[in-house]
A and B are shown apart, each in its own frame.
Chain A
Amino acid sequence: MIHLMDIVVKFGDFEALHNISVHVKEGEFFTFLGPSGCGKTTTLRTITGFIEPVSGTVSMQGKNITRTPIEKRNIGIVFQSYALFPTMTVHDNIAFGLKIKKLKKEEIERKVTAIARKVDLTDDQLKKAVSQLSGGQQQRVAIARALVTEPAVICMDEPLSNLDAKLRVQLRNELKKMQKDFGITTIYVTHDQEEALTLSDRIAVFNKGYIEQIGTPNEVYNSSATEFVANFIGDINPLSAGIAEAMKLSPARNHFIRLERVRVNAPAAEGVYETEGIIESREYYGLYIKYYISAAGQTIKVIEKNDGIRIYEAGERVRVAIHPQDIMSYDRKEA
Chain B
Amino acid sequence: MQGTLRGKSGPNFSLIYKVFGGVLFVYLFLGFMVIPCLNTLTSVFSAKDASGQTDPFAVIRFFLAGSMPSFVWNSLKLAVILVVTVNLVGISIVLLTEYFDIKGARILRLGYMTTLIYSGVALVTGYQFLYDSNGMITKWLADMFPEMNRQWFSGFRAVLFTMTFACTSNHALFLRNAIRGIDYNTVEAARNMGAKPFRVLMKVVMPTLLPTLFSLTVMTFITGLCAMSAPTLLGYNSINPEIVRLAGSTTADEAFPQARAALLSVILALFTIVLLLFLNHYERKGHYLSVSKTKAKLVKQKIQNPVANVLAHIYAYVLFIIYMTPVVMIVIFSFQNWSAVRNKALDLSGWTLSNYFGMENYSYTRSNGKISTRIGAISGVFANEKTVGGIRLSFLLSALAAALACVIVVVAVNYIFKHRNKKRAAIVEGCLLFPWLLPTILICYSYRTFFNDEIWYVFNQNLYYKENVRFLIVIAYAVVKLPFALRMVKASFYAIDEELTDAARNLGASNLRTFLKVKLPIVLPSILAVFALNFNALFTEYDMGATFQKSEGTTYAMVIQSMCNEEGRDGMNMNASGRRCASTVFIMLVSGLILYLVYGVGARDLSERLAIRERRRKRLAALRSRFTKRSP
Contact = CB atoms under 8 A, between A and B. Distances in A.
B497 A81 contact: yes
A100 B607 contact: no
Interface stretch (B476-484, B501-509, B563-571): B501-509
B610 interface: yes
B293 interface: no
B607 A79 contact: no
A51 B5 contact: yes
B2 interface: yes
Contacts of B513: 100
Q: Which residue of A11, A54, A86, A88 has the most chain B CB atoms within 10 A of its CB atom?
A: A86
A53 B206 CA distance: 52
A185 interface: no
B499 A79 contact: yes
Contact of A71 (B4, B505, B610): B505
A265 B6 CA distance: 60
A71 B605 contact: no
A96 B605 contact: no
Give chain A's interface secondary structure class: mixed
A263 B495 CA distance: 54
Contacts of A71: 9, 505-509
B518 interface: yes
A88 B607 CA distance: 10
B605 to A, nearest CB: 6
Interface in B489-532: 497, 499-500, 502-509, 513, 517-518, 521-522
B605 A131 contact: yes
Contacts of B499: 79-81, 83
A145 interface: yes
Nearest to A93: B503
Contacts of A83: 497, 499-500, 502-503
A262 to B, nearest CB: 37
Contacts, number: 100
Nearest to A98: B507
A24 to B, nearest CB: 18
B294 to A, nearest CB: 15
Interface residues of B, number: 29
B2 A86 contact: no
Nearest to B607: A129
B352 to A, nearest CB: 48
B610 A12 contact: no
A69 B9 contact: yes
Given A49-B6, A70-B6, A89 B505 contact: no
A85 to B, nearest CB: 6
A205 B149 CA distance: 86
Contact of A11 (B3, B500, B508): B3
Contacts of B500: 83, 85
A153 B499 CA distance: 19
A48 B605 CA distance: 31
A87 B519 CA distance: 9
A129 B605 contact: yes
A70 B4 contact: no
A9 interface: yes
A89 B6 contact: no
A127 interface: yes
B509 A79 contact: no
Interface string A105-139: 00000000000000000000001111110000000
A195 interface: no
A3 B236 CA distance: 79
B606 A131 contact: yes
B16 interface: no
Contacts of A149: 507-508
B421 to A, nearest CB: 11
22 contacts: A9-B3, A10-B2, A11-B5, A51-B4, A51-B6, A52-B4, A52-B6, A70-B505, A71-B9, A71-B509, A77-B506, A83-B497, A83-B502, A85-B518, A86-B605, A89-B610, A96-B517, A100-B507, A100-B513, A129-B606, A131-B605, A149-B507
Given A50-B5, A96-B507, A127-B610, 10 more contacts: A53-B3, A71-B505, A71-B508, A75-B506, A76-B506, A77-B502, A85-B503, A86-B606, A88-B606, A132-B607
Ranked 9 nearest A-B pairs via Cβ: A69-B9, A87-B521, A97-B507, A83-B499, A129-B606, A71-B508, A83-B503, A129-B607, A9-B3
